[in-house]
Chains A and B, each alone.
Chain A
Amino acid sequence: GDSVTQMEGPVTLSEEAFLTINCTYTATGYPSLFWYVQYPGEGLQLLLKATKADDKGSNKGFEATYRKETTSFHLEKGSVQVSDSAVYFCARQSGSARQLTFGSGTQLTVLP
């Protein structure tokens, strides 16, 4: 079935460090891909998305490129801030009704 595999955490970085969180998906069809972020005590929020191959989603300094050849959608940010500390979820569109399948989440902690 459809699945999403993302880098296990936790990830701890210093402020202004470069961030990469890896995400790969099963190559069934041509799904839309998403990154969601969950801040402490809150629900998930959409961070960015890409709907077709080679699209780059971007928001708040975060970027991810839809790579069909490697079935990947890695999340990157050039300079993280303490306020980026959160759990990040990769997700793909799934099923005939196009619901979402989420990865296991990666906890990011950014230290000042």
Chain B
Amino acid sequence: DAGVIQSPRHEVTEMGQEVTLRCKPISGHNSLFWYRQTMMRGLELLIYFNNNVPIDDSGMPEDRFSAKMPNASFSTLKIQPSEPRDSAVYFCASRTLGTKSNEQFFGPGTRLTVL
């Protein structure tokens, strides 16, 4: 099993540019999460999907952020326009719904730097 795959691993962009982060969950998992990690705020849940449907996006910081999951094997997190304060590591995680243990499997993250 390849695990959760995220791309790119590193992204450097200029303020105002559009940024798209990508995630491929573990095959067979039907729940997907996007997190943001910063020194100041720690690990924050941005949004999660069950069966490709967004369930809770209350953690999305503002309208500049959007996330989609067009199918069970792919999700994107888009920031448009990007700002320096969006610099962070963004993690994607997936799990199987209905399991008591509730374990989430994390990808390696995308380190975003907005200049």
Which A residues fall within an 8 A CB radius of B?
32, 34, 36, 41-46, 49, 51, 89, 93, 95, 97-105
Q: What 1/0 flags go to B28-67 for Cβ under 8 Å of A? A: 0000010000000011010010100001100000000000
* Residue contact A43 to B108, C-beta cutoff 8 Å: yes
Q: Is B101 an interface residue (CB 8 A)?
A: yes
Q: Which residues of A contact B100 (CB under 8 A)?
A: 32, 51
* B26: Cβ under 8 A from any A Cβ: no
Is B106 touching A45 in the complex (CB atoms < 8 A)? yes
Main secondary structure of the interface of B (DSSP, over half): strand
Q: A43-B91, A43-B109, A102-B43 are in contact. Are A97 and B50 (CB under 8 A)?
A: yes
Per-residue interface assignment for chain B, residues 72 to 115, with 1 indicating a CB less than 8 Å from any chain A CB and 0 otherwise: 00000000000000000001010000001111111111000000
Residues of A within 8 A of B21 (CB): none
Count, chain B residues at interface, CB 8 A: 21
Give min CB distance, B99 to chain A, whole Å: 9
